Amino acid sequence: MGGIGKTALAVEVAHRAQGKGWFPGGTLFVDLRGYDDDPVTADQAVLALLDALDVRNRDLPPTAERQYDAYRALLAERRERILLILDNVSDPAQFLPLLPGTDHHRVLITSRKRPDSLPVRRIDLDTLASDESVALLTRALGDSDERDERCAREPEALRELATLCGNLPLALQIAAAMLRRRQPRTIASLVHDIRKATDPTIALDGGTGATDQYGRSLVLRPVLETSYRQLPAQQARLLRLLALAPGTETATLAAASLAGLGFEATLVLLEELAATSLVTRVLSGNGTATPRWRVHDLVRAFAAGVVEGDVDLKEEGEAARERVLKFYVMCASLADRRLKWLPGQQEPEIFESRGQALAWLDRERTALVAAVQWAEAERYAPLAVPLSECLAEYLEWRRYFDDWITVSRVARDAAQRLGDRRAEGWGWDYLGLALRNVGRVEEAIDAHLRALDLSRAIGDRHGEAVKWEHLANALRNAGRTSEAIDAHLRARDLYQAEDDRQREANVWNNLALSLRDAGRAEEAIEAHLRARGLYRANGDRHGEGIAWYNLAHAWEQTDRVQESIDAYANAHAIFSEFEDWYGVGHALSNQARSHLANDNRDAARLAYRQAAEAFTRSEAFDRAARAQSDADALT
């Protein structure tokens, strides 16, 4: 893309090659200004090249055709190898007539467009790594004034500035020039100014009169504008809409929804945009899946600014967002149904397995969470609120509790504005679940009470039962055991009245935990057995695994050690089927404790090691370290 450092790299390569003696005939450099309003033509460039080769005035052939002949003849006669740099090309017509016509010499071409139709070796340039960006800024300031200590004093602000510049070399050089001009003001002050700007490409406008080593002005926005202006209408439209997409990457199907086009038509446009370096193709691990697409942060900001500045384009963008929201709601609801699916129920469409549903949700998580936050705008709230409900099961399963808190709060507030008391109640309830999982128990209790009041107010008996169940779990975590047991029983009675045997199984399982806390061990074991039986009858294999795990813990507390070891093994096996590695880790580490109670150190050590591996797979690294430490202690 523009500003990535193509020219700088080409010139640096030329200097190093000259230093190694690879091109004793020297280097020829021509800036073809391919993205200016009046780009240099090949006919104009050949005159400059002939002049560099000492062909001028009366020696210059009178016609373009003969000038090319003279140029190629001179190169063919040269015994000493020459490097030709054709910089800033926008069209093959600019450079094809300038190729030497012999493989004795070498040519470097820089362009924002990929010449895919030509047999040339292509080197795609990406943005710098974060550390490289920081190093560039540090060197740019230090080279101009060795007394400038701002980079050393403000490492966090320096790194944030690099991020705001999108790690784009041109933007970083502009930021360095702005800091030089602003001295002695802090780096943090520039970060603040860029952050408060609606469009960072405007904030990074240079305005310093500074130039690069080639005498070109350090300006960012014109670079983006020239690339955008050269796009055909359909490509320009898709780029604008991609800038409005949620998340950092967009799947091809989601891009098609944004554009209101078919999959194949959208894919072709995306491939054409990728050829202009305004969009980057992002492949999956093996490179075979349908690609995803990323727009650089500064390109995104520029394109979004184009939309914001035009009434018609703004309406087009809002309609595109509605389309992609509908797409996400449809897919997320089907993925959610697959995660909750039990044998005997109707099979959800699209996702043939739980693994497929989880894989799609994993890929789209960032976009889905961002899309829910569109609910802050009235136009999108009716779609974004139900999208948040579709994500609850997934976010809890993957333990993305911060995301869950975010989407629950946004959905709750939007539902309240819409006057949708049912959705507001679920927003409060899901917020309570997420808060409880991060240890904010009192806030969770308050959220569940608010949810319960809303379900009662609208006469939603099923919703009331769920809220009693979730409130009971929060009360148990707060140590309010007797209140928790009462709440569990209220939920159980409501589920039994509705003949909801799946939810009833959950209640028996959780009631047993509260009974254990109350010291009523035998009643707890009986409740766990009731839960296990209901899960089996419902075909809920993962629920059965949870019941086995809790039953094992109850048996362990009542000194039925071998039974607990066997039960933990059953839980471990079931959790493994579901790739629930966090559950596997807990089952194995608890089983290790039971092995120690049986004085079997070798079995305990092995279980702790396997637990560490499972926790690592679930990214619970603190628990993984603890399990590994426990294993090492038994060595």
| Residue 214 vs residue 581, higher pLDDT | 581
Instruction: Enter the pTM of the model.
Output: 0.81
Q: Which domain holds residue 154?
A: 130-219
Range 376-405 average pLDDT: 95
Residues 234, 291, single domain; the answer is yes
Q: Are 507 and 499 in contact (CB under 8 A)?
A: no
Looking at residue 217, what is its pLDDT? 63
Considering its fold, how many domains does the chain have in total?
A: 5
* CATH code, domain with 634: 1.25.40.10
In this structure, what are the phi and psi dihedrals at residue 381, rounded to the nearest 5 degrees? -55, -45
pLDDT for 610 beyond 60 = yes
Looking at residue 56, what is its pLDDT? 86
pLDDT for 212 beyond 70 = no
Q: What is the DSSP letter of 535?
A: H
Residues 440, 525, single domain; the answer is yes
Domain boundary among 219, 244, 261: 219
Span 149-173, pLDDT tens digits: 999 999 999 999 999 999 999 999 9
Which amino acid appears at position 181 of this protein?
Answer: R
Q: What is the mean pLDDT of the chain?
A: 92
**HSE (side-chain half, CA atoms, 13 Å) at 591:** 28
Residues 573, 620, single domain; the answer is yes
For CA atoms 216, 217, 220, 224, give the dihedral sign: negative
Residues 447, 521, single domain; the answer is yes
Span 94-149, pLDDT tens digits: 999 999 988 899 999 999 988 776 778 889 899 999 999 999 999 999 888 888 89
Residues 630, 590, single domain; the answer is yes
Q: What is the DSSP letter of 90?
A: S
Residues 423, 535, single domain; the answer is yes
Q: Where on the phi/psi map is residue 135: left (φ > 0), alpha (ψ -120 to 50), or beta?
A: alpha
Span 42-53, pLDDT tens digits: 999 999 999 999
Reported confidence tier of residue 339, pLDDT bands at 50, 70, 90 = very high
Looking at residue 216, what is its pLDDT? 63
Percent of the chain with pLDDT over 90: 78
Query: Residue 479: inside a domain, yes or no?
Result: yes
* CATH code, domain with 88: 3.40.50.300
